[in-house]
Amino acid sequence: MHAHWRADALWVIAGGTEQDVPGLADGAQVTVTVRSPSTHSHLVDAQAVAHLTEPDDETAQALRTARLNTKPEWEAVYRLEFGA
């Protein structure tokens, strides 16, 4: 599983060469936990709704580029949308 923030949503790629995310499905209510990059301590939990989607070319390229040293191949792309 790899995630990338883009266009006011968190995009998550899963399956294929990426880790599967148990329970992640279209329409699923999910909790995203944000941890400190330096201490790994818990910062915040945020509720979101997962939407199975096909990313546009620009978003797909951003997901590939964010992966840095591997060429990701995914089975599913989810756009996690957070409530106001």
Beta carbons within 8 Å of 26's beta carbon, 6+ residues apart: 50, 51, 52, 78
Would you place residue 17 in the very low, low, confident or very high pLDDT band (cuts 50, 70, 90)?
A: confident
Model pTM? Answer: 0.82
Predicted confidence (pLDDT) per residue in 46-75, tens digit: 999 999 999 889 988 888 887 766 677 889
Q: Domain residues of the chain, as ranges? A: 2-82
Tokens, residue 38: 């330096």
- Top pLDDT among 13 and 73 is at 13
Please give the span between the terminal C-alpha atoms of the chain, in angstroms, as a whole number: 25
